[in-house]
Amino acid sequence: MISINTNFQNLSQNYLFAEIARRVSVYKEAHPQKHVISLGIGDVTRPLAASVIRAMHKAVDDEAAAATFHGYGPEQGYAFLRDKIAEYDYRSRGLDIKSDEIFISDGAKSDTGNITDLFGADNVIGLTDPVYPVYMDSNVMCGHAGAKYEDGYERIVALPCTEENGFSPALPDRTLDLIYLCYPNNPTGTTLTRLQLTAWVNYAIAHHSLLLFDAAYEAFITDDTPHSIYEIEGAKSCAIEFRSFSKTAGFTGVRLGYTVVPEELKYKTADGGELQLNQMWRRRQTTKFNGASYISQRGAEAIYTEEGRREIMANIDYYHENARVMKSSLESLGLKVYGGVNSPYLWVRIPDGETSWSFFDKLLNEAALVTTPGVGFGPSGEGFIRLTAFGSHDDAREAMERISETLG
């Protein structure tokens, strides 16, 4: 009889988006004539930028002739794209990131989930609460979370992000080995200041911890908030950074992201040896990943032209405009709203007497609106719902009118 990975039994059973989909489908069946507006799952709606489309069409043509055909590419990603990323996302900001420290992938979900391959099973892991569920579930699946208790896992330490602490988690009073930070944050839409990020980097250096910094939403930053953890002095010695083209360039369907693993990240082994995370990740990717598609990488390269940049920023501005309209409408109804400035997410305090799920149901049943109950991202998310600004202007406005009628 085969032995099965029973860690899967320890996963939280209620996958948030599956439960939302179930409730929405029940509603739609009962109200087939209603136009249901989704402010729920974080998927983009604007079409790809014209320069990206042109570059991908050209890449398809490359595949049509033997002289320009591309089969398997480099597992780490084509140099034409890694060089652009190093130059425009990092060196132009004064950050010394080399092309060899950049690994292209099919998205940040894969990388934030697969990174567990690099670590042993006995680390103490810090996760913000609320949290992007992938960090938690990927550690549970591979057994790194340890035993499951009623309110958590043996080796996972929750870092609450609450209204009281301004959604900036307190530095732990114990040593955490791995700490996942996501800023701008999903789900709260909030950011950490340079000073707050510096405190985390200093903590990581002092405690020999590693920060796993997810910057999937950096393109939404509108003020002087750092776009990269490497803007903080010392971060190259204690942080891996994940980036995604999904929200930056609308690639949720194309699939492309990248991870920066600095060469400085080296760790002693029990037998007196040393392992370098950059080499380990390269080995991991060459073993289990065969590279992102040539066509998608050519598409991403196009966003590093002046025209491509202008076009993707126009799409991001479109979502920002939704966020602005939504935030001001909700605030005019007396609701407390966080995020929505450096992020496509609004984290909305729900009216007294409601729970995240009861308010979700109210908006679904009375306003035909789909939102995301905050508690689905962790216990500290109770009392909030998350709204996304990824829809059309018309839907965003209508959604606000419907909320106003429901609450008014």
**C-alpha–C-alpha distance, residues 128 and 169, integer Å:** 7
Among 123, 196, 246, 315, binds ligand PLP (CB under 6 A): 246
Which CB atom, from 221 or from 368, has the smaller least distance to ligand PLP?
Answer: 221
Tokens representing residue 233 in the block? 């002095």
332 and 405 Cβ atoms separated by less than 8 Å: no
Kindly identify the residues of this chain, within the stretch 41-80, that bind ligand PLP according to CB under 6 A: 42
Please state the closest distance from residue 296 (CB atom) to ligand PLP, in A: 11
Interface region with ligand PLP, contact rule CB under 6 A, candidates 105-113, 157-165, 349-357, 368-376: 105-113
Verify binding: residue 109, ligand PLP, rule CB under 6 A: yes
Q: Where are the alpha helices (DSSP H) in 181-274?
A: 194-207, 245-249
Among 209, 244, 285, 296, binds ligand PLP (CB under 6 A): 244
The site string for ligand PLP over 131-160 (x = CB under 6 A, - otherwise) reads: -x----------------------------
AA letter at 77: G
Which CB atom, from 42 or from 381, has the smaller least distance to ligand PLP?
Answer: 42
Which CB atom, from 82 or from 109, has the smaller least distance to ligand PLP?
Answer: 109
Verify binding: residue 182, ligand PLP, rule CB under 6 A: yes
Kindly identify the residues of this chain, within the stretch 201-230, that bind ligand PLP according to CB under 6 A: 214, 216
AA letter at 174: R
Long-range contacts of 250-254 (CB under 8 A, 24+ apart): 250/44, 250/46, 250/47, 250/48, 250/49, 250/52, 250/312, 250/315, 251/48, 251/107, 251/296, 251/299, 251/300, 252/43, 252/44, 254/48, 254/56, 254/296, 254/299
Among 257, 291, 299, 378, binds ligand PLP (CB under 6 A): 257
Residue in 388, 222, 254, 402 with CA at minimum distance from that of residue 319: 388
* Residues at the interface with ligand PLP (CB under 6 A): 42, 107-109, 112, 132, 182, 186, 214, 216, 244, 246, 252, 257
